[in-house]
Chains A and B, each alone.
Chain A
Amino acid sequence: MGVTVLQPYSVPEGQTGPQTIEFLAKRLLALGAVQASTFIVDCETFIPNPQHGTPKTVHVLHNSEYPASTFAVLDTGTKQVPLVADALFDLLMLKMAPAHTSKKQTKIESKGARFEYGDFLIKLGSVTMAENFKGILLEVEYRPCVIPSNCWELIRELLQGFLGVSIPATIPPYFNTPSIMSMNHPKSSEIFNPNHTKQNDVYQPMDTINQYLEHFGNFRKQTMLSGGTGIGAPLRS
C-alpha cells in the first residue's frame, strides 16, 4: 500500500478518448513500464426515497486493487462517514434497498490498463458513466511510501515526464483537508492539531476511494453543466 494521486487528463482537440489512451500507453511502454493486467474502480450512488427525510446519499465503491473489500461513503451534506467492509456488504446494501434506491444513470466507473514501472503503479482509466465516455483519469501510485507529502514531488516528476505537461507544484487539494483518519489513532495528539492535514498522514486505501469520489463528482457535475457532452472539456485538477 502506497500513496496514490489521481490526475485527470483532458483529451486533446480532434482526438478520441481511446486514441489518447493508446498514445499514453505507448509512451509508458517506451519508458520501460510493463503492463500488468487491468483495473476497475466503480461507484454506485444510492439516494434515499423522497418520503424519507433528510437527503443522505450513500456511495458504494469497489476497487479491483482491493478485491475483497467494499467501500462506502455516507454523505450527509455536512460530513462524510467512510466505511470499509467485506465484499458481502453489497448484499447488505440490497437489504437496505427499500430505504435507498440506486440511480442507475449515475453509475460511474473508471477502468483500463494497469502498468508497473519500478515501484510505481500507473493506471490509465477511461471514465464512463452509464456506458458513455466521460474523460481520462490517471492513477499513479508510489508503493514504497506511505506519507503523501513525502512522495508528491516524485509522483509529480513522473507525471510531468510522461504526460509532457506542467503539473502544479502544490499537492492536490484533497491532501490539504484536515485529517479525519482518527479511526486508526484515536489517542494520537496529532489529530487535534488543526494544521495537520492528510498529506502528513499515513495513506489509507480509503483515501484513494475519496479521491475517486471527488473526481467522479466533478465528472458528473460537468455532465450536468454541459448537458451530457463533457468530452474534451478542460478539466480542473
Chain B
Amino acid sequence: MSTLSGPISTAKDALSQAVQSHIIPNQEYLLQGSILDSSVEHLLHRLKGLCDNVDTGPEPFHDHEVCMSLRTPNQMALQLRVRRSLDCDAPHQLRYIGQAELGDRSRPTLVRSSIDVACTSTVMDFLTELGCRVDFEYTNRGYMFRKGRMKITVSKIFKTGSNKPGEMGPEPISQSYLVELSVLAPTGQDAIGEEMRAFAEQLRPLVQLDKIDYKRLG
C-alpha cells in the first residue's frame, strides 16, 4: 500500500492554505446611496448603458433577508444574515458581516469583512437551535448589474409580515430605491476602491454613492 504512505490532505489543510495565500474573498468594498422612485428609471437606463450585461439586460431579483445575532456574554454579538431568493430555486445564502471600517477621507470606499456561504434551507433551523435570535427581516426587490468585478444593485426594500388588511402587496419602507456598489475581494486588494470611486463618479448626476456610517445614522 505505497499510496497510503503519503499524507492525505484534509479539507482543513486546504482551507488554511487558501487563507494564507489570500485567495478567499473575505473583504467587501461598499458604496451606498439612494434615489427617489420617480427618478429610478433614469438610473436604470444609465446603468444599462454602462454595465456589462448590455445584451441580456439587468438581472431582476427578489430576496428575503433575515438578520440574526448570536449573543454571548462578555462578547460582541455576532451578526449573521440569511438570504434566500423568492423568485428562483437557489441555495440559501448565509453571510457574516463584520464591523465596517470607514477609514480616513483618502480611503475611497467602506471596507468590511464578509464571509459568504451558500447552504441548504435547513440553515434557519440550524441557527435558531444554535441560539441565534432574529433582529429584523425584510424583502428587497430590484435589479442587479455587473461591471467587471463590481456589482451594482438597485432595489426597493419592503417590510415583511406587516400587511395591513385590504392593502395589496408588501409595504415599501420608503419612497426611494437603495443603490449599492460593492466588490467582494480577497484581503489586500485595495486598488479596487479607486475603480469603484471612478464608476460612482459616472453616476454622480443621478445618485451620490458614498461611505455611509451606520453609527452616525443610529
Contacts and interface: CB of A to CB of B under 8 A. Distances in A.
Interface string A28-45: 000000010111101000
B55 interface: no
A87 B14 CA distance: 10
Contacts of B75: 98-99
B119 A83 contact: yes
A183 B121 contact: yes
Contacts of B14: 67, 87
Contact of B15 (A37, A81, A91): A91
Contacts, number: 110
A64 B130 contact: no
Q: What is the interface residue range for chain A against chain B? A: 35 or more
A74 B15 contact: no
B115 A98 contact: no
A52 B74 CA distance: 12
A46 to B, nearest CB: 10
Contacts of A81: 122, 125-126, 129
A70 B123 CA distance: 13
Interface in B104-122: 115-122
A111 B78 CA distance: 35
Q: In the complex, which of the residues B8, B15, B24, B118 has the most CB atoms of chain A within 10 Å of its own CB atom?
A: B8
B131 A87 contact: no
List 4 A-B pairs, minimum CB-CB distance, nearest first: A62-B11, A85-B119, A83-B126, A86-B117
28 contacts: A21-B1, A52-B72, A62-B10, A64-B8, A70-B11, A76-B129, A81-B125, A81-B129, A82-B126, A84-B119, A84-B120, A85-B123, A87-B11, A88-B15, A88-B24, A88-B115, A88-B116, A89-B117, A91-B15, A91-B26, A91-B115, A92-B115, A95-B78, A98-B72, A98-B75, A99-B72, A183-B120, A183-B122
